[in-house]
Structures are given as C-alpha cells and as structure tokens.
Amino acid sequence: MDDQNLRWEHEVPDELADDQDEISYRSRAVILSEVGSFLRCIAPIRLDNGAIARFGVWVAILDDVQQVMAAGRSGGDAWASLKFTGVLANRLTPWPTIYRPIVSVAVSEPDLVPLLVDSRDPHMRNVLTRAWPHTDVIPPREQRG
C-alpha cells in the first residue's frame, strides 16, 4: 500500500449494515434510506510519519438535503463551494468510542470527494486536527517493517 495514500472504505453507514433493505437508492456517492440521506466523504487523518490516512465514510446530511444533492448534480462551482453539516455515520476503528458526532464537511475542488473539516465534538475535532502515531491508526497487517 502506498504510504502516502492510505485508505479504508466503509460500505454503508453503520446503522444500515444489518438491514440494507431500508436503502431506497444507492450509488458510489449517495445512499438514500428510511433512516436518512447519506453522502460519501473522506475523513483525512494526519499521521506522525507525514502520511494521511483517508477513511471513506458516510455522513448523514443535517442541512438542506435537496440543496446538497442539487450541488452534486450541478457540479462545477456549486459542488466546489459546497459546505454542509452532518452526522458521521461510521465508527472509525482507531477511535471506537466516538459515535455519531456532528461534523462539518466541505468540498474544495469540482472533482473531489467532500472532506470532514471540523466537528462540534471535541474528541472528533481532536481526531481531525492532530497528527496520530501511524502504528495506532494503520492496522498491523498493513504496516511495513
């Protein structure tokens, strides 16, 4: 695995893992269900070795869902300037006690996946802003010796 492009993906929001029958629409970037509207995002986690671990996660949209979806369909500047608030819908393995924090999400360029940029939850904010020991974040089977 390229040490500068570490990545793990969550297939679905945690609350839908056991009952995917609730999903009414699914694409690579969007899941619509009875429990919410979710957008795939990246949680970028800085590591002490200079790499960034990128966790592909789902965020339940709290803001105007129609506005977020319209920006996605429009693309271009509408997408590149998108900012919204949501709830992180996946646990991050290195931090299992952080569950469903409110997060701020932003897109910085037209072709990029939205990034988690901040959180109201102080523990999640800490996860997003500090550099973590790579040995704590990277599963041992994926570490290079």
pLDDT digits (tens, 9 = 90+) for 21-69: 999 999 999 999 999 999 999 999 999 999 999 999 999 999 999 999 9
Tell me the backbone φ, ψ of residue 136, rounded to 5 degrees. -85, -25
Q: What is the pTM of this model?
A: 0.90
Give 33's DSSP letter. Answer: E
d(CA 125, CA 107): 18
N-to-C CA span, the chain: 12
Beta bridge partners of 105: 84, 116
